[in-house]
């Protein structure tokens, strides 16, 4: 079977199992995602898994040219230009690399052409350039090597062995590895965020923030405040963390006003998710800018401008949905509706002060964002200070400290006993544990979808008008996003595909617009293979069908609005002089 159709068939099977299991068979989301992951992993050939693992670790060579024409091929000097700008230090001196010619080929085994031995030739003007000596592969010592094909992959031997080992695992082991990897990435965050949310609600901190916000902005401006707060917090902090921190405020706002819960949830989402894909230093836009040769400051300005417009379109669409649809505030394991109602009726003097209430939210933002700013500006701080700040700025440490602070706020405000605090934390962790299971299963599903190789089947692009090029960048990102779930992976993949064209001088507009199109293309069609989908639905109380109806639709509207704005910008202001 043709590799493309084989991959499409596997993806379709996974989609039917997950969506059909949840919507038609009414399976628990964890089971549907687990069954879908097992089905996709079982159908994916081992050779495809091996290629995918190789591509994760290898460096693609944009150009390889011989610097000497005389002598046997094994003694020639070569100049190598690596295309992987997101990994500038991957080609290292005094290191042996295996050369895999031809790039990605699902129907071909992974074979080495020879060994590239990098030479320590002193400082290079560009990190990606290295002088190297080629030797035939040990198993083909008698075959003279005439040239290294452009587009070849360089990979260290031990990494190739690891890729082959991964391909030899059973499909169930690969699913378990994807599950564990996701749980390791988000498990502590979700657990601590659940504690923060519970303590913000029980202590009255969330209600204090809501009351103060209503006094300052009024009820009519509250949704707009959620949009821009989410956008600003989403620049230095990951989307999941922003949503964890703000969703208790949305719940408290609904209890106080008695309406607009759907609007509050969607406005929290639309601001934070657009910053996540358009404004560095979040990884997706940061890497896309590096790959396409876009100045980081220009990317930040363009991302803020386009992100503001797309977030505004999301706000308008959320308001439209809110007028026609109603999302009820449902009970969760950590807090019942009766508890929320009782909490909202406390007198002002029973609530913590505004600074104390807002500190558990601001603390992780300050720590995480502060480290990002320090790294970006390369401030000359003492080593001990820098190391301390990096420890505090670790996302797991920062949010754990915020959880401890929120528990302290609960103790001081409510004067509860240690047993009552233990009970409150247990309730929050019960709720968080379910979210971790579902989100990790979603991560496993996304991981095995990546192993099908769909992201690497797109190898050539037409060079045409700005409309065609920008639309193509958007569609490639969208296709990868739908296939494997991660917006960041989709952006990195699309940026890698477009890097050669962006820096070739063949386009008639600034590559900034390609980077912005990639960011906007990572938004539409959010569904069950995206961990963010499960975070939103489970923490807000949405059903899966409601998540597809509301969140996925709004994200698609914002992504399409971003595409239109980017095309207009490229046509009206090509910025070719920059």
pLDDT digits (tens, 9 = 90+) for 339-383: 666 666 677 778 888 888 888 878 877 887 777 677 767 778 888
Domain boundary among 139, 167, 195: 167
Let me know whether 210 and 162 are in one domain: no
pLDDT band at 144 (very low <50, low <70, confident <90, very high): very low
209 part of a folded domain: yes
3-state class of 528 per DSSP?
coil
Check whether 204 has a pLDDT greater than 60.
yes
pLDDT band at 53 (very low <50, low <70, confident <90, very high): confident
Could you give the percent of the chain with pLDDT greater than 70? 76
512 part of a folded domain: no
Q: Which residues of 21-51 are buried (b: 16+ CB within 10 A; e: fewer)?
A: bbeeeebebbebbbbbbbbbbebbbebbbbb
pLDDT band at 125 (very low <50, low <70, confident <90, very high): very low
pLDDT band at 139 (very low <50, low <70, confident <90, very high): very low
pLDDT band at 262 (very low <50, low <70, confident <90, very high): very high
Q: What is the mean pLDDT of the chain?
A: 78
Give the pLDDT confidence score for residue 396 in this predicted structure.
Answer: 84
289 part of a folded domain: no
pLDDT band at 143 (very low <50, low <70, confident <90, very high): very low
Let me know whether 152 and 93 are in one domain: yes
Closest CA to 48 of 110, 116, 102: 110
Let me know whether 158 and 231 are in one domain: no
CB 354 within 8 A of CB 214: no
Check whether 88 has a pLDDT greater than 60.
no
Let me know whether 88 and 106 are in one domain: yes
Mean predicted confidence (pLDDT) in 189-202: 80
pLDDT band at 445 (very low <50, low <70, confident <90, very high): confident
Mean predicted confidence (pLDDT) in 398-406: 89
359 φ/ψ angles, rounded to the nearest 5 degrees: -60, -40
Give the pLDDT confidence score for residue 335 in this predicted structure.
Answer: 62
- Highest mean pLDDT among 42-56, 70-84, 514-528 belongs to 514-528
Check whether 526 has a pLDDT greater than 70.
yes
User: Who wins on pLDDT, 237 or 412?
Assistant: 412
Cα–Cα distance for residue pair 299/266, rounded to 1 Å: 26
Let me know whether 146 and 189 are in one domain: no
pLDDT band at 89 (very low <50, low <70, confident <90, very high): very low
Let me know whether 154 and 181 are in one domain: no
- Highest mean pLDDT among 10-14, 109-113, 553-557 belongs to 553-557
Let me know whether 245 and 361 are in one domain: yes
Cα–Cα distance for residue pair 375/232, rounded to 1 Å: 19
Domain boundary among 374, 409, 434: 434
Non-local CB neighbours of 413 within 8 Å, separated by 6+ positions: 203, 204, 205, 350, 351, 352
Give the pLDDT confidence score for residue 443 in this predicted structure.
Answer: 77
Let me know whether 231 and 332 are in one domain: yes
Question: Treating both helix axes as pointing N-terminal to C-terminal, what angle do 261-278 and 531-540 enclose, rounded to 10 degrees?
Answer: 160
1 part of a folded domain: no
Check whether 124 has a pLDDT greater than 90.
no
Give the pLDDT confidence score for residue 249 in this predicted structure.
Answer: 82
User: Who wins on pLDDT, 224 or 158?
Assistant: 224
524 part of a folded domain: no
Domain of residue 235: give its range. 173-270+326-434
Check whether 173 has a pLDDT greater than 70.
yes
Give the pLDDT confidence score for residue 319 in this predicted structure.
Answer: 95
Convert the pLDDT of each residue in 551-564 to its tens digit.
Answer: 999 999 999 999 99
Let me know whether 106 and 153 are in one domain: yes
Convert the pLDDT of each residue in 251-260 to its tens digit.
Answer: 888 888 888 9
Give the pLDDT confidence score for residue 339 in this predicted structure.
Answer: 66
CB 508 within 8 A of CB 574: yes
Let me know whether 240 and 366 are in one domain: yes
Give the pLDDT confidence score for residue 310 in this predicted structure.
Answer: 96
577 part of a folded domain: no
Beta strand segments in 90-165, E: 96-100, 114-118, 129-136, 153-155
Domain count, the chain: 2
CB 294 within 8 A of CB 303: no
Let me know whether 89 and 197 are in one domain: no
Domain boundary among 434, 464, 491: 434
Convert the pLDDT of each residue in 178-195 to its tens digit.
Answer: 899 878 877 887 788 778
pLDDT band at 109 (very low <50, low <70, confident <90, very high): low
Give the pLDDT confidence score for residue 322 in this predicted structure.
Answer: 94
Mean predicted confidence (pLDDT) in 240-262: 83
Give the pLDDT confidence score for residue 309 in this predicted structure.
Answer: 95
Give the pLDDT confidence score for residue 79 in this predicted structure.
Answer: 63
118 part of a folded domain: yes
Check whether 202 has a pLDDT greater than 90.
no
195 part of a folded domain: yes
pLDDT band at 126 (very low <50, low <70, confident <90, very high): very low
User: Who wins on pLDDT, 192 or 290?
Assistant: 192
Mean predicted confidence (pLDDT) in 138-154: 55
Let me know whether 340 and 393 are in one domain: yes
Non-local CB neighbours of 439 within 8 Å, separated by 6+ positions: 182, 186, 190, 531, 534, 535, 538
Cα–Cα distance for residue pair 553/551, rounded to 1 Å: 5
Check whether 68 has a pLDDT greater than 60.
no
Check whether 86 has a pLDDT greater than 60.
no
The DSSP string of 408-424 is HHHHHHH---HHHHHHH
Convert the pLDDT of each residue in 453-484 to its tens digit.
Answer: 765 654 444 555 788 889 988 988 888 788 76
Residue 115's Cα: distance from chain center in Å? 35
Give the pLDDT confidence score for residue 117 in this predicted structure.
Answer: 58
């Amino acid at each position: 079977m043709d590799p493309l159709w084989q991959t499409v068939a596997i993806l379709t099977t996974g989609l039917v199992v997950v969506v059909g299991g949840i919507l038609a068979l009414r399976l628990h989301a964890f089971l549907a995602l687990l069954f879908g992951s097992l089905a996709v992993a079982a159908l994916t050939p081992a050779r495809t898994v091996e290629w995918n693992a190789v591509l994760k670790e290898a460096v693609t060579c944009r150009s390889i040219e011989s610097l000497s024409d005389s002598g046997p091929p094994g003694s020639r000097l070569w100049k190598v230009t690596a295309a992987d700008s997101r990994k500038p230090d991957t080609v290292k001196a005094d290191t042996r690399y295996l050369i895999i010619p031809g790039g990605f080929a699902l129907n071909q085994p992974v074979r080495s052409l020879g060994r590239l031995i990098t030479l320590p030739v002193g400082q290079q003007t560009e990190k990606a350039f290295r002088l190297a000596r080629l030797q035939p592969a040990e198993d083909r010592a008698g075959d003279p090597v005439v040239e290294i094909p452009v587009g070849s992959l360089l990979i260290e031997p031990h990494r190739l062995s690891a890729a082959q080992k991964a391909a030899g695992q059973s499909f169930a082991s690969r699913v378990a590895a994807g599950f564990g990897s996701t749980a390791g990435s988000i498990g502590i965050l979700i657990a601590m965020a659940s504690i923060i949310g519970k303590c913000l609600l029980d202590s009255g901190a969330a209600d204090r923030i809501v009351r103060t916000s209503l006094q300052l902005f009024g009820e009519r401006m509250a949704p707009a405040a959620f949009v821009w707060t989410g956008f600003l917090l989403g620049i230095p902090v990951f989307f999941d963390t922003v949503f964890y921190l703000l969703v208790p405020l949305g719940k408290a706002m609904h209890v106080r006003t008695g309406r607009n819960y759907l609007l509050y949830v969607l406005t929290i989402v639309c601001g934070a998710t657009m910053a996540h894909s358009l404004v560095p230093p979040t990884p997706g836009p940061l890497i896309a800018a590096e790959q396409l040769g876009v100045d980081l400051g220009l990317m930040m300005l363009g991302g803020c401008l386009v992100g503001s417009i797309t977030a505004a379109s999301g706000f308008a669409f959320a308001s439209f949905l809110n007028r026609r649809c109603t999302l009820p505030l449902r009970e969760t394991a950590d807090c019942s509706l009766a508890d929320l109602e009782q909490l909202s009726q406390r007198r002002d003097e029973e609530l913590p002060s505004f600074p104390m209430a807002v500190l558990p939210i601001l603390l992780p933002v300050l720590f995480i964002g502060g480290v990002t700013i320090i790294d970006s500006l390369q401030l000359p701080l003492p080593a001990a200070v820098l190391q301390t700040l990096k420890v505090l700025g670790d996302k797991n440490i920062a949010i754990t400290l915020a959880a401890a602070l929120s528990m302290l706020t609960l103790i001081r405000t409510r004067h509860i006993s240690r047993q009552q605090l233990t009970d409150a934390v247990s309730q929050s962790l019960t709720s968080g544990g379910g979210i971790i299971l579902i989100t990790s299963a979603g991560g496993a599903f996304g991981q095995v979808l990546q192993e099908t190789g769909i992201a690497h089947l797109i190898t050539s692009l037409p060079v045409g008008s700005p409309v065609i090029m920008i639309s193509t960048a958007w569609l490639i990102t969208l296709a990868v996003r739908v296939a494997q779930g991660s917006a960041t992976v989709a952006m990195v993949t699309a940026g890698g595909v477009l890097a050669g064209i962006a820096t070739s001088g063949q386009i008639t507009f600034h590559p900034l617009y390609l980077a912005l199109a990639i960011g906007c293309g990572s938004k539409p069609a959010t569904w069950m293979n995206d961990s963010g989908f499960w975070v939103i639905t489970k923490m807000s109380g949405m059903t899966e069908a409601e998540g597809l109806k509301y969140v996925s639709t709004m994200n698609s509207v914002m992504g399409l609005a971003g595409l239109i704005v980017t095309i207009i910008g490229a046509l009206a202001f090509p910025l070719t002089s920059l």
